[in-house]
Amino acid sequence: MPPKLRRLQEVQAEIYRQLQLLLPDDIAFHDHLRSCVPGSAPLCLDVLERHPYTTFFRLTYEFSGTENREFEPDAHVRFYHDARMAEATSFDCDQACTRDSHPAYPPAALMRRTWRQNRALDRWLDFLLRQGHSAQTMAPVESAAGRSEAVPSPVTAG
């Protein structure tokens, strides 16, 4: 395995480890979670997709302004439960409209972009954990009716 790819996989394994400290078991049952700690903007997690071995979510700070809510850094993360790895897929809200790879794309440019995104996520997760965000502070967002928004647990293949 090329050294750059090995280093990228090591970063993705570290991202997975950090997310294990941040994500509560409730992530299997709730689509929207929030963590509030003193001295930090609210940290929001929105599950975008659930599959038997993968969860795709958005992790961002929520800043409430006088006119609009803003979300920064707006990280999209694919969490591989079986492989024990996680990767940043984008820091762009329009990520679903862009292609991340294609046989015609230069592999070196794709690797540089992937490396930068994952290193940025790794550093941000370390910062979040040092701020005090954790699985204990991450709680389901209550719906307007006062009940948490629950979804069925993901089906696991035997």
pLDDT tens sequence across 55-73: 999 999 888 765 666 677 8
Tell me, yes or no, whether 10 lies in a domain.
Answer: yes
Please tell me the total count of domains within the chain.
Answer: 1
Q: What is the pLDDT of residue 67?
A: 64
157 vs 47: which has the higher pLDDT: 47
Tell me, yes or no, whether 82 lies in a domain.
Answer: yes
Q: Lowest-pLDDT range, 69-78, 85-94, 119-128? A: 85-94
Tell me, yes or no, whether 12 lies in a domain.
Answer: yes
What lies within 8 Å, CB to CB, of 17 at 6+ separation is none
- Structural domain range at position 23: 3-95+118-139
Average pLDDT, the chain: 81
Secondary-structure percent of the chain, ordered helix, strand, coil, rounded to 5: 35, 30, 35
Contact between residue 113 and residue 89 where contact means Cβ atoms under 8 Å apart: no
Tell me, yes or no, whether 126 lies in a domain.
Answer: yes
Q: What is the pTM of this model?
A: 0.77
Tell me, yes or no, whether 27 lies in a domain.
Answer: yes
Neighbours of 158 (CB within 10 A): 4
